[in-house]
Amino acid sequence: MEVYSLSFIYLFLPVMLLATWAVPARVRPEILLAASLLAYYFLAGSNLWLLLTILLFDWLIAWILEHCDRLPRFRKVLLFCAVAKVFLIFLIYALRFQRFGEVMPVGLTVVCVTSLGYVIDCYNGYALWERNPVNLFLLNLFFPKLYAGPIVSYGKELPHLRCLNVTLETLGKGGAIFVCGLAKTVIIAKSLKGIYEPLREIPIYRTTVLTVWVMVLMLAYMVYFGASGLCDIARGIGAMVGFQLPENFLHPYRAVSVNDFFSKFNLTVNRFVRRYLYINLGGANKDFLSNAANILLATILMSMWFGFRWNMVVWGGYFTCFLLLERYWIHKHEDKIPTLFRWLYCSFVVMISFVFWVGETPSESISFLQVMFGMSRVELFDKELLYLLNSNWLVLVIAPLWALGLPNAISTLAKRYLPKIWEVGAALGTGALLVIVTAYLL
Amino acid sequence: MEKKISGLVFLLLLLAGLGALLYDGGAAAMRQALSSKEPFQQLENVVKDRFPLSETLRHLQVSLNYMSGLKEQNGVFISKDALMLDVQPKDQQTINENTQAMLRFSQAYDRASYVMLIPTACAVQQYKVPYNATAPLYNQKQQLIDDVYRQLSGHLTSIDVYPVLHNHQEEYLYYRTDSSPTGLGGYYIYTVAAQKLGLTPRGLGEFDVKHLDYEYYGDLYDLSPYREVEPDRISAYLFSKNWRGYAVTHSDKDGQRTYYSLYPEFRKELGDTKDILLGGDSPRIDIDISNPQYTKQLLIFGDDSFQSYLPFLLIHYEKVTFINTTKASAQQIEALDVSEYNQILFAYSVDHFVTEPVLSVLEGLLKEPTAS
């Protein structure tokens, strides 16, 4: 049962909301954890036991860490065990993917990373061992965020779980975010997929220059709408039950530098890598080579979030070059460059990077790059491309405008100048969008 | 306040959905789904089936997609006034297998054999296809029909109905909501087929037309229910010049049933208006015609397009047997005695011919060919 299925929206969700509302606030975490376990079991069956084992392991590690603060070496061994466990799991699944094409169970990455963050916080003394495992397990296993995050931090988000307020306001706020997330995932991302997939199926010798450009752009927007839609679904459901989850995408395609892009794209994961790895390695305060190595390692880890492929390593390496360029060169001239040009530069760099997502191997991506820049003898465009563009003109207009934040700008203006109309309009808009999403799910 | 109203609207919608799904046996259906082998897939299917206003919501989805530029949905082109199946070949192997099967059959049975591939609406009425200048249409005439006829040349007589349909493309040749030719389309197909079969085609004026239904929605409408497309008219064509008695015997998994009319109108009450035409579509249909003038027997291997042209062809024969090879099983046709027939016609709509092994069921008849 997916979070964007009718059975979830119209059966599971209302029952979960009613159950959460019906019980006193102190019991709500238990209800939500039970709902999350049930929903995950419906989705991924026996993989639930794997997730529970990981959490139990980390919970025990945290308990031991708290009780042996006079044994620094032993504490280091414990931390090493927790980190090694995550690497071992990722390695096993990377090999299984390479060998059998078997993908990682839903939520495994999110749970491993969140739970590891908790252990590291306990090790560093930023967090205490959580006596009540329900809160910790719920923080990790809260069902809707298992798809794509956001990654939560124990210190920041746990206090919310201790006072889960459920009111019509939280329901309204959460409902609006949830429905927007559904629209992004079910309508926009799916429509973009409908353009991307036929283009991707065209063999490279039969493709055209513009076909590859459109294909890369479609993938870039598809990734954004798919991932941010799932995060919005998670944030929306969280908000409905009083659990505030952080934003994970802040209009990344509005970024004016690659550094800015990483602070807006999948930002909770990037924050995690910076906090637990990059800063511990010394950040960017050393010599050029050390800084470059740190940035490279951090960027590759951020990119590996999206899959264990050589192309993702290249994707990380590609961005490292631009991050270094910005840090050591562009940074000095930043003020002299108009924002529009900086945005154009960043958009160009980011869009080109998605060539490494499109290609299965680095060599295939290079072939696509050659086509994009006219280094292959192919046509500029063909009828098939025109047909696809014609057939999807509206989504091609809506996707970039939405990604650039136009709906937010409109709602801000409406709220300021037409508050009364906005009140009714927002409520009706949420309802209407839910009906449209439902139509697309049938 | 705004959030409260939003919250209330959202909650009401969710609860209305939940209530409607559980109402009237919904809970029992869901319990049953959850006890099946694929519980959550089944549950989702139950929810989709029972969802309130699901028809209206599907119309909404198709209309929104259409407005957004998507004029081909679920493999169906949506033009201003018609739905048309987008025909794309599955693979060349399927086409080769079908062609070779006809060749082998005609060689095994020394009978006058004919082949007729009927182009679909998107090939004949190309001007109706949305974005037709760029739409990746399969060229049915050049890429398939001409090629297959060339391969069978010298073994089977080809019946090329494309030119006549193309010449009348502005007329009501294909249903607006169904993938089959209309009665009128069937008449034009008949005029060409009759000449090739050595018959003299009758004029359209010699047939009485009776309109059976003006509100018919066909299979393409089920796939893409676009509201702006008008429903179809189903018409019956009956030869009026000389009286003929018909016995139409359908054989299917439920046994045999015989109608003494080409258009048993009570069939409408049982479901589809199209089932009135020759009593519907069955794996095997035997039609005996009391007709002192003609003594020929015709065997047709075909698909569901037969309802368009067969009512016209019938008038020239004493007996016609139609085998729908897309539906028939080997057991259903094993009793077929090919030697009883003077002529054999392979008649397929292009969409079936390029996507299915439509003649694989005839392999059983090739094992022990009947010497004539």
Task: Report the alpha-carbon distance of residue A439 to residue A441 in Å, rounded.
Answer: 5
Are A181 and A40 contained in the same domain?
A: no
Residue A304 placed within a domain: yes
Query: Into how many domains does chain A fold?
Result: 2
Task: Report the alpha-carbon distance of residue B340 to residue B144 in Å, rounded.
Answer: 31
Q: Which domain holds residue A17?
A: 6-163
Are A93 and A183 contained in the same domain?
A: no
User: Best residue in B1, B8, B14, B72 to probe A by mutation, most A CBs within 10 Å?
Assistant: B14
Task: Report the alpha-carbon distance of residue A245 to residue A151 in Å, rounded.
Answer: 9
Give the per-residue pLDDT at B170. Answer: 92
Are A136 and A217 contained in the same domain?
A: no
Element (H, E) at A33: helix A28-44
By C-alpha distance, which of A181, A196, A263 is closest to A226?
A: A181
Residue of A7, A13, A423 lying closest to B1 (CB–CB) = A423
Q: pLDDT by residue for chain B (372 residues), tens digit each?
A: 666 777 888 888 888 888 888 887 778 888 888 888 788 888 888 888 888 888 899 999 999 999 999 899 988 999 888 999 998 888 889 999 999 999 988 888 888 899 999 999 999 998 999 988 888 888 888 888 999 999 998 889 999 999 999 999 999 999 999 999 999 999 999 999 999 999 999 999 888 899 988 999 999 999 989 888 999 999 999 887 767 788 999 988 888 899 998 888 877 777 788 889 888 888 999 999 887 677 889 999 999 999 999 999 998 898 999 999 998 888 888 888 888 898 999 999 999 999 988 888 888 777 654 444
Residue of B5, B43, B44 lying closest to A423 (CB–CB) = B5
Of A163, A193, A215, the one marking the end of a domain is A163
Are A6 and A441 in contact, with CB atoms under 8 Å apart?
Answer: yes
Structure tokens at B249: 């015997």
Closest-CA distance, A218 to chain B, in angstroms, reads 16
Yes or no, beta carbons of B4 and A172 under 8 Å apart: yes
Residue of B4, B17, B18 lying closest to A169 (CB–CB) = B4
Q: What is the pLDDT of residues B183-239, one digit of tens each?
A: 999 999 999 999 999 999 999 988 889 998 899 999 999 998 988 899 999 999 988
Are A365 and A422 contained in the same domain?
A: yes
- Chain A residues closer than 8 Å to B13 by CB: 431, 434-435
Yes or no, beta carbons of A10 and B8 under 8 Å apart: no
Alpha carbon distances (Å) from A204 to A11, A211, A358, B334: 45, 10, 12, 49
- Chain A residues closer than 8 Å to B7 by CB: 167-173, 175
Task: Report the alpha-carbon distance of residue B300 to residue B284 in Å, rounded.
Answer: 10
Are A249 and A385 contained in the same domain?
A: yes
| DSSP-assigned letters across all residues of B243-288 | --EEEEEEEETTEEEEESSSS-TTHHHHS-GGGGGGGS--SEEEEE
B156 CB-near residues (< 8 Å, 6+ apart) = B102, B103, B106, B113, B114, B115, B346
CA A137 to the chain's CA centroid: 20
The complex scores an ipTM of 0.82
By C-alpha distance, which of B169, B195, B198 is closest to B184?
A: B169
Task: Report the alpha-carbon distance of residue B80 to residue B71 in Å, rounded.
Answer: 10
Which residue stretches of chain B are H helix?
2-22, 26-34, 39-50, 54-67, 92-108, 121-124, 146-152, 162-167, 183-196, 219-223, 267-270, 306-313, 330-333, 350-353, 363-367
Of A107, A141, A163, the one marking the end of a domain is A163
Question: Is residue B328 classed as helix, strand or coil in its secondary structure?
Answer: coil
Residue A1 placed within a domain: no
- Chain B residues closer than 8 Å to A422 by CB: 2
Residue of B4, B43, B72 lying closest to A168 (CB–CB) = B4
Are A154 and A175 contained in the same domain?
A: no
- Which one-letter amino acid corresponds to residue A329? W
Are A12 and A116 in contact, with CB atoms under 8 Å apart?
Answer: no
Total beta-carbon pairs less than 8 A apart between chain A and chain B: 143
Total residues belonging to chain A: 442
Are A152 and A208 contained in the same domain?
A: no
Are A262 and A360 contained in the same domain?
A: yes
Of A163, A191, A219, the one marking the end of a domain is A163
